[in-house]
Amino acid sequence: SVSAEPISVDSESHEPLPVFPKTDDQLRRIKASIKDNFLFRDLDEEQETGVLNAMQETHTTGGQVVIRQGDLGDFFYVVESGLLHVFIRKDPAPGWANSSRTPPVPAWQEQDPSLHAEFGKLVQECKPGSSFGELALMYGHPRAATVVAIESSTLWSLDRITFRTIILKAAHRRRTMYEHFLSTVPLLSSLSATERSKIADALVSTVYRDGEAVVRQGEMGDTFFFVEEGEATVTKTHEGDDGELVVGHLTRGDYFGELSLLKSAPRAATVSAIQRGAGSTLPKLKVAALDAQAFTRLLGPLREIMERNAGTYGNYGSPYSH
Ligand code: 1OR
């Protein structure tokens, strides 16, 4: 569901958003359920309070249809407990109904042929901590799939207006902020705005304390980074030497961590947040990270450029020489 399709954010309502009072226990359970959810990642405190207020606890029994493909979208759901299955039915091709051949059913769908027959192909499972039902609310399309609780489940539902007013707006602001940053990164200058948008959606930022290491020489790594704010030093220890040699300096718009991913090799150097002098106005080091999967999918086309750039790291004393 992570896509760079344009999201239209409207100021559709000036009415107050719904407030359903909650116990401390309910608030704790919602917070635990949204903790690792990408859609809630960039809410500030006020936005989070608005979302928590508007959520409603919902219980389903096993077999209950929560969303039906083709319907209009009204709610978005977060799963606290239980298990749901997502099915998609393609409209049968013309003449299909008259054909005597039945399409083969994959072994893993044989367990519940009745759900398969009614709702189509099983495409996804929704476990605790996941969410579903966002697409219709984001894009104004009919529901793209049918979602069935296959066990009794506890869900938190969020109405369309609150979803659009708070979550979509925050997602939009986050995307715009990263798009702006990425448009200044030299490595990405050959990409289209849409390609940069996809990268924007996949980034996760972290701020580091002075001196703190982001990656350490010798460790295996599966993350790629852009420097968003502040500065970093690249250091390397050579066999036989004691002490570290400073071999590089990274500033806003630079990237690092690509070599481990390109070569499946351990980190060739340590990259850490610079020690800022007293009275320095430089912000703390902030990096935006891409995981290995996103790196391969989104930056794969830039592999040659990165390999070429790595050649200019230099030889002796280079962060990446062996
Ligand atoms: P919705 O509002 O359209 C159905 O209501 C929800 O099912 C949908 O939002 C998503 O949250 C969820 N394709 C479409 N919808 C999916 C998919 C999906 N998986 C979960 N949903 N997949 C594409 C299959 C070709 C599966 C992706 C792994």
Q: Is the CB of 298 under 6 A from ligand 1?
A: no
Give 188-244 pLDDT, tens digit per residue. Answer: 999 999 999 999 999 999 999 999 999 999 999 999 999 999 999 999 998 877 788
Q: How far is the CA of 316 from the centre of ligand 1 (A)?
A: 51
Q: Is the CB of 196 under 6 A from ligand 1?
A: no
Q: What is the percentage of the chain residues whose pLDDT exceeds 70?
A: 86
Domain count of the chain? Answer: 2
Check: CB of residue 101 under 8 Å from CB of residue 83. no
Three-class DSSP category at 116: helix
The pLDDT assigned to 312 comes to 78
Q: Is residue 321 part of a domain?
A: no
The pLDDT assigned to 311 comes to 85
Q: How far is the CA of 124 from the centre of ligand 1 (A)?
A: 8
Q: Is the CB of 130 under 6 A from ligand 1?
A: no
Quote the CA–CA distance of 110 and 156 in Å, as a whole number.
Answer: 30
Quick check: 37 pLDDT over 70? yes
Quick check: 43 pLDDT over 70? yes
Same domain, yes or no: 165 and 241: no
Q: Is residue 253 part of a domain?
A: yes
Q: How far is the CA of 134 from the centre of ligand 1 (A)?
A: 8
Give 156-174 pLDDT, tens digit per residue. Answer: 999 999 999 999 999 889 9
Give the structural domain span for 269: 183-311
Q: How far is the CA of 133 from the centre of ligand 1 (A)?
A: 7
Same domain, yes or no: 192 and 160: no
Regarding an ipTM greater than 0.90, the answer is yes
The pLDDT assigned to 98 comes to 41
Half-sphere exposure in the Cβ direction for 80 (13 Å, CA): 20
The pLDDT assigned to 3 comes to 57
CATH of the domain at 139: 2.60.120.10
Same domain, yes or no: 79 and 56: yes
Same domain, yes or no: 66 and 165: yes
Check: CB of residue 124 under 8 Å from CB of residue 108. no
Q: Is the CB of 72 under 6 A from ligand 1?
A: no
- 75, 124, 146: residue to mutate for ligand 1 pocket, most atoms within 8 A of CB: 124
The pLDDT assigned to 238 comes to 84
Q: In this structure, which residue's CA is closest to atom 12 in ligand 1?
A: 132
Least confident of 55-64, 102-111, 139-148, 226-235: 102-111
The pLDDT assigned to 156 comes to 98
Q: Is residue 143 part of a domain?
A: yes
- 66, 123, 159, 160: residue to mutate for ligand 1 pocket, most atoms within 8 A of CB: 123
Token look-up 């004393």 returns: 317
